[in-house]
Structure 1
Amino acid sequence: MSTKYRFRDKYRIQLREKDHPPPHVHLTGGGVDVMLSLETLEVMTGKAPSLIIKEAQAWVAAHQTQLLEDWKRCYP
């Protein structure tokens, strides 16, 4: 598991090396576990406060290319 970003002292965006398609990251911490699509940035599973989701989506959008490259390295 690789934490790519931490924010608000309790939330993390993680790319899990032993995961499953489709390409996604996990938003965890503070009692949430949300999967965000790396292709569409939409919530795939889970729930979290909308402000937290939006902050995570903004960070993922800004780093989407690198995150997709990282995903492809784990899942060629």
Structure 2
Amino acid sequence: MSTKYRFRDKYRIQLREKDHPPPHVHLTGGGVDVMLSLETVEVMMGKAPPLIIKEAQAWVLTHQVQLLEDWKRCYP
């Protein structure tokens, strides 16, 4: 598991090396576990406060290209 970003002292965006397609990251911490698509940056599964989702989506969108490259390295 690789934490790519930490924010608000308790939330993390993680790329899990032994995961499953489609390409996604996990937003975890503070009692949440949300899957965000790396292709659409939309919530695939899970719930979290809307402001936390928006902050995570903004970060993923900014780093989307690198995250997709990292995903492809884990899943050639």
Quote the Cα distance in structure 1 between the aligned partners of 2:40 and 2:52. 17
- In structure 1, runs of 5+ residues without a counterpart are none
Structure 1 segments of 4+ aligned residues over 3 angstroms from their partners:
none
Quote the Cα distance in structure 2 between the aligned partners of 1:41 and 1:69. 15
Quote the Cα distance in structure 1 between the aligned partners of 2:20 and 2:27. 16
Aligned residues: 76
- In structure 2, runs of 5+ residues without a counterpart are none
What's the TM-score once normalised by structure 2's chain length? 1.00
Alignment of 1:57-72 (within 5 A): 57-72=57-72
CA RMSD of aligned residues (A): 0.1
Calculate percent identity across the aligned residue pairs.
92
